[in-house]
Structure 1
């Protein structure tokens, strides 16, 4: 039993065990070969039992895999347990960068790509889209390597840990760049929704923070890639003005009452990409700490209607909420990616740690979002009854066939996969 092993925010206590911390890929293979059931853990940045299981839990925090940059291929290969913030520092020091970062740099590479976790921006697909290769320890302990042209790669990247333990991940990189971010306050909802596409494309990455009350968006964070001394949308003095909003003169935290010292530098001050694209600094507790999270991604064409539907639920949502965030994510072709098949807008909820009340609200939110084809984030809380996820993913049956072929005995199966129809 693992009574003291919990998800990062304390929302789930792991029931599986024993817990092992292999230091080499061969040790991972030996563990998997000798176990009836296995699940892999990275930074444990999830909010339910996705990474839990009835058997051995493989924690990748001690896995010793060197980080290798291939400048000719434009890739980096890294151990699955490495956190993005640590990888980013190494990449930047060597003159390289990723195309995006998630809000939190604290998350591990393998778990992040396995759940389609994302950064944001109209032209920025999620972090999983950067995967160019995987090393997987599969059922039976065999070590498989998938390259960029492997026909199984698109079904193996976002696989929720169901195909094995990802010991190495190869990611596309690009030359390093600078980013500057600015914050605007109290943008009228009317302006935000009437000009939604223009707003979301006004910087490399745009986030709207709201508690769903009142007539204004509380904060708008815009992150501009700096190119030759200018922003994509303006000079280094700032991007285009947001009519009806006011520029924040002091640093702010998206969660009311939290210390902005935990946030990355604002005020339109350029700096390295990895110190601006995340909302939070690696050395601080991520987000609010004691919290729950949910997120749904809707097709870009339905974004405004979905936002309006959520605004109608303010009486239910706001009392349970720390803050919500609206972001855009470019589409990809990964089979279980929440952005598979086209651009999406992410509707994120950071909840107070009130599990029973949040669980009761989730089906109401999902019913409101159902007409818009909303896909829940795999690693965050969503309605727990078995629902029509199959209808939301065109390659669902291909994914099931891949899982059955590569893990016929269900070595990596668990309650989460069974509950949501990904194992028979």
Structure 2
């Protein structure tokens, strides 16, 4: 088998990939094999989803979107892409409060790795979960409702508890967003006015080169107004990586549906060739300025490998393995050239520069942070390990990543 992830940065080593087209078929496979993991949209950049046994792709399973307007929730099949879910919700007059920056990723994988939305008051995508259903090691369905004490530990699941079949999310009435881009914002403004900058709109993204004196700021406003920072308001549509913006969502203050403004890229379009490596670090907001200053010192060695770097804020949540667990967060996301040896060395330098700032690496992206250091940044890590032992005592869903990084085996 020579199948790879979306970015081409990892080749799966499992014996085979199954593509069942019914949940019952998934249950039979899970019950019969000794080792198995689930694959969604393949946006993890390393061996997190892999298995020494079998892989089950969710891509052929039927898609379902069930609205509960009384409770303001929507239940979706786990392999549903955020873009497809958004289209169905908007058509029915509803919306999500947070949206994946790329609408091409699957719900199960996004929540399972703690992938986040963007905004001072916007939590991670996982924070919108109010329930889920998974297949346990015996092939039986297990549902966790909003009041289940296991749910806060099971949402950011890393695939360790079973194969998800459905996820229930909060929803709200549909709304519009206007998007603005401001160029040439001085770093001095970012460092001294960070709170004003990130609160200037519902969602704010800062794009930094680290070796330049200015940054570019994207602001997404739900009320049509945004407090534009010092800088030069863009007069033409922009691309966050400086490329042709034809497939980016509309900007220049033109209002549009939430699902066509909160992501940077339009649905139905793959935003890059995928030939890249991504890394991301989530720090307490209180450490943001120190982190920025440390990374600016590394600007000359970051720039040669950097395709784009996006800085966002994320509201705190109570999900055990969320990067935003118990703290308001600043997320620093790197899109890097597909040069593994050089990127690995660079990440070591970045992590050294961020040492002491409680920089939790994104579970699905590249990092070199030791497992002991990661465990020390998650107060509920021991509880998560106990949850895994209870749900999967024989380790059917375990793999090398979990043993190396999470479970301490």
Q: Residues 140-198 of structure 1, C-alpha deviation per residue, up to 9 Å, x if partnerless?
A: 21210000000100111101000010100000100000001000001000011100011
Alignment match, 1:64:
62
Q: Residues 310-337 of structure 1, C-alpha deviation per residue, up to 9 Å, x if partnerless?
A: 1111122111101111100001000000
Q: CA shift at 1:83, angstroms?
A: 0.3
Alignment match, 2:7:
9
Alignment match, 2:228:
241
Matched, 1:420 2:405: yes
Q: Structure 2 vs 1, CA of residues 161 and 342 (structure 1 numbering), >3 Å: closer, same or farther?
A: same
SS at match of 1:124: coil
| Superposed CA RMSD | 1.1
Q: CA shift at 1:286, angstroms?
A: 2.2
Matched, 1:308 2:293: yes
Alignment match, 1:93:
91
- Aligned mates of 1:386, 1:423 — CA distance in 2: 8
- Aligned mates of 1:21, 1:68 — CA distance in 2: 23
- Aligned mates of 1:149, 1:423 — CA distance in 2: 29
Q: Is the 8 A contact 1:413 1:423 kept in 2?
A: no
- Aligned mates of 2:408, 2:387 — CA distance in 1: 11
Q: CA shift at 1:67, angstroms?
A: 1.2
Alignment match, 1:286:
271
Where structure 1 has 5 or more consecutive residues not aligned to the other structure, the ranges are none
Matched, 1:224 2:209: no
1:86-165 aligned at under 5 Å gives the runs 86-165=84-163
Q: Is the 8 A contact 2:63 2:80 kept in 1?
A: no
- Aligned mates of 2:302, 2:86 — CA distance in 1: 35
Matched, 1:349 2:347: no
Alignment match, 1:27:
25
Q: Residues 242-281 of structure 1, C-alpha deviation per residue, up to 9 Å, x if partnerless?
A: 22x001100111112x210121111100000000000111
Q: Is the 8 A contact 2:8 2:274 kept in 1?
A: no
Query: Please, which of 233, 241, 245 is the counterpart of residue 255 of structure 1?
Result: 241
Q: Is the 8 A contact 1:16 1:56 kept in 2?
A: yes
- Aligned mates of 2:272, 2:16 — CA distance in 1: 30
Q: Is the 8 A contact 1:280 1:287 kept in 2?
A: no
Matched, 1:325 2:310: yes
- Aligned mates of 2:301, 2:213 — CA distance in 1: 17
Q: Is the 8 A contact 1:15 1:54 kept in 2?
A: yes
Q: Is the 8 A contact 2:183 2:232 kept in 1?
A: yes
Query: Please, which of 323, 339, 360 is the counterpart of residue 338 of structure 1?
Result: 323
Deviating 4+ runs (over 4 angstroms):
none
Q: CA shift at 1:386, angstroms?
A: 3.4
Matched, 1:408 2:393: yes
Q: State the number of aligned residues.
A: 409
Q: Structure 2 vs 1, CA of residues 171 and 24 (structure 1 numbering), >3 Å: closer, same or farther?
A: same
Q: Is the 8 A contact 1:292 1:350 kept in 2?
A: yes
Where structure 2 has 5 or more consecutive residues not aligned to the other structure, the ranges are none
Q: Structure 2 vs 1, CA of residues 130 and 421 (structure 1 numbering), >3 Å: closer, same or farther?
A: closer
Q: Is the 8 A contact 2:182 2:228 kept in 1?
A: no
Q: Residues 56-115 of structure 1, C-alpha deviation per residue, up to 9 Å, x if partnerless?
A: 100001111421000011111111111000000000000000001121000000000000
Q: CA shift at 1:356, angstroms?
A: 1.1
Alignment match, 1:365:
350
SS at match of 2:195: helix
Provide the TM-score with structure 2 as the length reference. Answer: 0.98
- Aligned mates of 1:94, 1:104 — CA distance in 2: 22
Matched, 1:277 2:266: no
SS at match of 1:158: coil
Alignment match, 1:379:
364
Matched, 1:167 2:154: no
- Aligned mates of 2:210, 2:377 — CA distance in 1: 26
Alignment match, 1:79:
77
Q: CA shift at 1:17, angstroms?
A: 2.6
